[in-house]
Structure 1
Amino acid sequence: MENNNFNHYYMKYEKMIHYLLHRYNIKYAYDDYFQLMLIKLWELLQTFDELKTNAMDKYIYTKLKFYLIDCIRKYSKEMDRFIPTSDNIMLDQSYVEHYHCELYSMLEFLSPEELTWFNLTLQGFSTQEIAIYMNKSESTIKYYRKNARNKLKSHYLF
């Protein structure tokens, strides 16, 4: 695709990209999302096949919409995992250590694997990531999860 040809498509789909960003209420990092959407538009134009679908506008809209949703999910997952701290939120370290000791003493009825699953889940890791970390299969991790949940329910009546 020639550069001036992409400029034509840029002018054609720029408003669509702005519409999608406003529809999903993107205010923070607007320019970053816009740039990602332009890159995705370029990729879609490279891979578009008129033999498979003749409605190019609908194809572009659908693909960009779901790509934006994927980007939002990815960004929100990263934000949940990496929460920035500020000076006024910092707690006294002795309090944190005491809290952790108390919390884990309440969980002594869990097996070491279940406790590892519990700890990693609280940190926001997915089942797949925990399986890689523990060098176990996902079904084994799900088994640990099921047992840990049952033990927690029976001990704390959740």
Structure 2
Amino acid sequence: MQYDRYIHYLIHKYKLYYDAEDAYQQLSIDLYLLTLKYDDTKDFDQYIKYQLNFKAIDYTRKTVKYYERHMLSDKHIEISKEDDDSLWLIDAHHLLNEYEYTWLNYALQGLSVQQMSQLMNKSESSIKGYRQNARLKLKPL
């Protein structure tokens, strides 16, 4: 319980809002495992905070890789004559550049600008720019 606030700090630092509960659970497990590995030659508090920080970074990287692998793509879209949304997404793919299309995928998944920023390793202002450009290009559709 002593490191509960520190774990929440790491979740906010690395913007793990979308998976906050999973991140909290994983970092709590990591904390327990780190206490088992601890040797008396190091300062316990400094050791735990240093190691948990890297565990949070690892979790962030795994999350990014997961979203990149499972991101919506044309091969995942089933096209039916009744489903105009599928056709619209394929048209959108041809109109948008890579970043704008990635923004669209994340927006359709309900992610915030902050979460997109973290997943795409871009600044929030860049994400907002992709959003603005994508909306302008998609307006005629």
Are the structure 2 counterparts of residues 56 and 88 from structure 1 closer, same or farther at C-alpha, using a change threshold of 3 Å?
Answer: farther
User: TM-score, normalised on structure 1?
Assistant: 0.46
Name the counterpart of 1:37: 27
- SS at 1:90's partner residue? helix
- 2: CA distance between counterparts of 1:29 and 1:90? 27
Q: Distance in 2 between matches of 1:39 and 1:48?
A: 14
Query: What letter matches 1:31 in structure 2?
Result: E
| TM-score, structure 2 as length reference | 0.52
Q: Unaligned stretches of 5+ in structure 2?
A: 78-82, 95-141
- The reply on whether 1:83 has 2:71 as its aligned counterpart is yes
What displacement does 1:91 show? 4.2
Closer/same/farther in 2, CA of residues 50 and 31 from structure 1, 3 Å limit: same
Residue 65 of structure 1 aligns to a residue in which SS?
Answer: helix
Percent of aligned positions with the same letter in both sequences? 34
CA root-mean-square deviation: 2.6
* Partner of residue 97, structure 2: none
3-state SS of 2:86 partner: coil
**1:61–1:88 Cα change, 3 Å:** farther
Higher CA-based Rg: 1
User: 1:21 and 1:66 mapped to 2: Cα distance?
Assistant: 12
Aligned length: 83
Match of 1:49 among 39, 42, 67: 39
RCO greater where, 1 or 2, for CA within 8 Å and sep 6 or more? 2
Query: Within the alignment, does 1:70 sit opposite 2:61 as a pair?
Result: no
Moved over 6 A (4+): none
* Residue ranges of structure 1 left out of the alignment (5+ in a row): 1-10, 100-158
